[in-house]
Amino acid sequence: MSGASKPKRTSCLLDVSAVSYLTPNMIRVTLTGPEIGEMENGCEGANCKIMLPEPGQSREQFSGQLRDGPRPTVRTYTVRFMRRDANEMDIDFVDHGDAGPASAWARAATPGAFCGFAGPGPVKIASFYADRYLVVADMSALPVAAATLEAMPRGAKGHAIFEITDADDWQDIDAPFGVKQHWIVNAHPHRPTGEVVKLARQLAVGQGRLQTCIAGESSMIKELRQFLHNELGVPREDTYISGYWKIGLIEDEHQKMKRAELA
């Protein structure tokens, strides 16, 4: 029917088929389930919701909770790779130790574990049309940045800046040859050094239309948003720029803060 809204995507239960440390501080969890084969192609870089079971909770108990409530602990992640023919997708988790529920779950996960899943949403950048690109990400946003770089036209030009916790957290990303990658090590991500913002301000200046994919800690995002929109005058429609977390806040608190800022 014309004008009808799309039905709300319901959650499903996915199983863990593999877990590995991609780098010292990044855990890759491979999820599997028939629902993945029904999802749209090209979802790499899209947000999804991961619903976490309680330690010791059985699959049957968690399945009932997804169906009947109460709402389990939910965290937002990014689809890194999807293999629909194999009913598989990869989700990368930053290893924060056992303090955070998602990190603790990923650290403990083994083949046969399970979680709830909802999504994925739309990809952050659906088309590439600029003369040059600026990609900026900390560890939390590496998956969306990497997926964006891999989706770019092979002739794209620009810069990508990554802040990682350890030099060994470097990843091999299939970026266009003309996008230069800059890797900055900050062993204490909860203590911003300002290096990422300083470099981004330098590299954003140039001729031609600029398109961005920028995500990470909210204080960095606030500075770069002000610079791009207010100082450089980059149109908002040309900038994906989003705070994924904020120092001192858990995700629920951060999301509440973001909603208040938009109100």
pLDDT attached to residue 2: 36
Give start and end residues of each alpha helix (H) in 14-90.
Answer: 59-68
Q: Is 12 helix (H, G, I), strand (E, B) or coil?
A: strand
> What is the pLDDT confidence band of residue 249, given thresholds at 50, 70 and 90?
low
Contact in structure between 24 and 96 (CB atoms under 8 Å): no
Confidence label for 9 from pLDDT (cuts 50, 70 and 90): low
Q: What pLDDT does residue 247 have? A: 80
Please compute the mean of the pLDDT values over residues 224-242 and round it to a whole number: 97
> Does residue 257 carry a pLDDT above 70?
no
Does the model's pTM come out above 0.95? no
Edge-to-edge strand order for the sheet containing 239-245?
178-185, 157-164, 132-137, 210-217, 239-245
State mean pLDDT over 197-221: 97
Q: Using pLDDT thresholds of 50, 70 and 90, give the confidence band for residue 250.
A: low
| pLDDT value of position 197 | 97
CA dihedral angle for residue 48, residue 54, residue 56, residue 62, rounded to 10 degrees:
-60
Residue 253 predicted with pLDDT over 90: no
For residue 43, CA distances in Å to 89, 130, 174, 181, 217 come to 10, 21, 17, 23, 23
Summarised one tens digit per residue, pLDDT across range 33-62 is 999 999 999 999 999 999 999 999 999 999
Give the three-class secondary structure for 215.
strand
* Mean pLDDT, range 187-212, rounded to an integer: 96
